[in-house]
A and B are shown apart, each in its own frame.
Chain A
Amino acid sequence: MKVDIVVDARYKSCPGPLLALAEAVMKASPGQIIMLLATDPGAPRDIREWALNVGHKVLNIEKADETYQIYLEVSS
């Protein structure tokens, strides 16, 4: 997957990862793909809920060691 922006929010607890991602989305363009790196165990569900509310699309969530890689496509 082609990633346009990487947001590293590892070792940040809630609401750090979501706020970091939301800030990146504000600066991003529609169609861009953001990869969020997070270790907060609540992050995957939180990001999914948030994306549902605001209309962005979670493409995939992977986990390597303790790090989640959350792929988000920015909507218009």
Chain B
Amino acid sequence: MSKISIIVASEKLDKLLPAATLATTAAVMGWESEMFFTFWGLLALKRDYEPKEVSSDYKVYEDYLRRAVSSGAMPSWLEILEQGKKTGRLKVYACSATMSFLGVKTEDLVEYVDGVVGAASFLSKAKDSDINLFIS
């Protein structure tokens, strides 16, 4: 079975959407799919977080993307992720070090997080992946 591992290091809408799209599409295609949320990416796993901003370099396009999502032309990143989770093949991991320095507790995270892990654990899960991506 093919496998993809994605490290997500940003909480911005323009990073979360492609990350979720690739992770979920892989899972829907029957692949194993793993996401590791680290640094600012971890903020996206906090309960009630709703990404509204794009990266500062692309502010001028922010309204286009927001409109695409709010009109339903593009699914929200959470809708995408939830469909991936439904397959049972998409795993979502939170970075333990980031949780420590941001003071985020396990109970602050959304329920679809499969575990809190460190770099070595994620690497050993990701090492047999066919595709590895770092999105920040």
Tally chain B residues at the interface, Cβ within 8 Å. Answer: 15
* Contact B73 A18, beta carbon cutoff 8 Å: no
Q: Report how many residues on chain A are interfacial, defined by Cβ distance under 8 Å.
A: 15
Asked if B30 and A18 make an inter-chain contact with CB atoms under 8 angstroms apart, the answer reads no
Which residue of chain A is the closest to B82 with respect to CB atoms? A19
Contacting pair A53 B29 (CB below 8 A): yes
Asked if B74 and A50 sit within 8 Å, CB to CB, the answer is no
A15 touches B73 (CB 8 A): no
State whether B68 touches A19 (Cβ < 8 A).
no
**Per a CB cutoff under 8 Å, which of B29, B30, B31, B73 touches A13?**
B73
Q: Is the CB of B80 within 8 A of A15?
A: yes
B115 to chain A, nearest CB (A): 25
Q: Which residues of A contact B (CB under 8 A)?
A: 11-16, 18-19, 22-23, 26, 49-50, 53-54
